Structure 1
């Protein structure tokens, strides 16, 4: 039996491939989503230098809704995300390429959000701005004039979890926690007011998906990594983190490994908003 739907393109592309695409007419829409959980906002990095033609997208303002009980980075409202992507020039089926500093953490959240809202032709520059600049490719401080796009937000195109769904999946499938081990164990919590993890979750730190250069590990190594955690193509898999950003990176890594996964967008920051939700600590 053949699949009636054509396979999606590789979600990653490297520097030479992007350089070739940027010579197309028209080129892909290029989005810079550099972001830091703490420290200077990403727009400052953008203004110091970015890929020619890139438009800055603010992760906190454009790719997430206002923080609150739904989490620190909940899904944006469809109208708000649609407007933000139109301002950035996203249109119809025109390809989009997203990048961040190096490890694709923020880029993966924008990759996931665009696909959730129905825009399939989106890819991530593996290694981000660092890979581009270290390859000697041109950068600029000039901000492009953007022709507004006609992007239309069509939500619910990817699977998501809420708190009840995450709790159920931790019992019946594989729920991965993408945070650092010390946060998973509850030894420290630098961001949220409660430390620990969802009972039954398994720790799979996002940084384990990439090498020292910020590029993703080969798919075979990612498959091996996730198989050891019970995340295989035959399992029901979900991912969460602190606020749904690094968990999107985990979904991208799982995609490279051939494992579909649902994202708990509200993640830990939503889980602990309800004091009735249990909290586990330690490695178990």
Structure 2
């Protein structure tokens, strides 16, 4: 239904797909780091047929020593996805307000869970509305899905692997704002700085002003300038594994489907005082 070599789908292509006899499953994952909850936005209006799924409580595990947005329990995730109507072999499209940060983490989570037929709506809800496509307030009741969650569909990096990667010739990308990477300012976590050896490449630069991802060639150029070459292992991290998923999404568009996500990210790294911090 959608291109297999591109992790995103344009609003026009989604609109056409929704008119077919077998439309994709839509998941609304609008979310903000500091609130308010995205469900309020969903209630005010959403794409026809979309089901709301909460990033914090349904797509991630509870915060703790593994970070603020750790991996979800596979059984709990399977229950959530089946309730949302996700079926084996059926395409899923996830969307957020438009910056694709939450949508990328949802996309990553479903693909990690083994559901490869998952795409991100490029430009998200804002682009859908701007193009004149309809929104509704009715909450659907989809038939129960039958997805079986099989973790391991995408590579995951733990703290040991993240610390080792730059010293083993790999590229560890810190996708946060430069001042957070440098340790000059830390608005979220109690310790400032970055993992030694990581390079800073803010994920916001992977998208245009509308929130849509840049084309594959532009992304490849950007990653190459940061030190990524075809034989270079690569992984991304951020504060808690959400915005870094956006960089993994961009890496997939650029052709690097082997890119790993350090899910625990900085919020996990700093829970162990023995782990080094660079500023």
Post-superposition Cα deviations, 1:7-52, rounded to whole Å, max 9, x if no partner, equal: 9342111111000110111210000000000131100010111001
Structure 2 residue matching 1:129: 3-state secondary structure: helix
Who is 2:228 aligned against? 231
Who is 1:273 aligned against? 271
Structure 2 residue matching 1:124: 3-state secondary structure: strand
State TM-score, norm by structure 1.
0.95
Post-superposition Cα deviations, 1:77-121, rounded to whole Å, max 9, x if no partner, equal: 100110010110001111100000001110000101101010010
Who is 1:201 aligned against? 198
Name which of 43, 46, 59 aligns with 1:47: 43
2:52 matches 1:56: yes
2:190 matches 1:189: no
Who is 1:12 aligned against? 8
Who is 2:173 aligned against? 176
Structure 2 portions without partners, runs of 5+: none
Cα distance between partner residues in 2 of 1:207 and 1:55? 27
Cα distance between partner residues in 1 of 2:107 and 2:261? 13
Who is 2:119 aligned against? 123
Maintained 8 Å contact 1:233/1:258: no
Cα distance between partner residues in 2 of 1:272 and 1:233? 31
Cα distance between partner residues in 2 of 1:64 and 1:261? 20
2:24 matches 1:25: no
Cα distance between partner residues in 2 of 1:95 and 1:212? 27
Structure 2 residue matching 1:98: 3-state secondary structure: strand
Who is 2:240 aligned against? 243
TM-superposed CA distance for 1:156, in Å, is 1.2
State TM-score, norm by structure 2.
0.97
Structure 2 residue matching 1:192: 3-state secondary structure: coil
Cα distance between partner residues in 2 of 1:171 and 1:181? 22
Cα distance between partner residues in 1 of 2:48 and 2:158? 39
Q: How many residues align?
A: 275
Q: Which runs of 4+ in 1 moved over 6 A?
A: none
Cα distance between partner residues in 2 of 1:143 and 1:9? 32
Maintained 8 Å contact 2:30/2:96: yes
Maintained 8 Å contact 1:33/1:57: yes
Structure 1 residue matching 2:156: 3-state secondary structure: coil
Maintained 8 Å contact 2:157/2:263: yes
Post-superposition Cα deviations, 1:239-264, rounded to whole Å, max 9, x if no partner, equal: 10000000111000011111231110
Who is 1:136 aligned against? 132
Who is 2:150 aligned against? 154
Maintained 8 Å contact 2:176/2:239: yes
2:148 matches 1:165: no
Structure 1 portions without partners, runs of 5+: 1-6
RMSD: 1.0
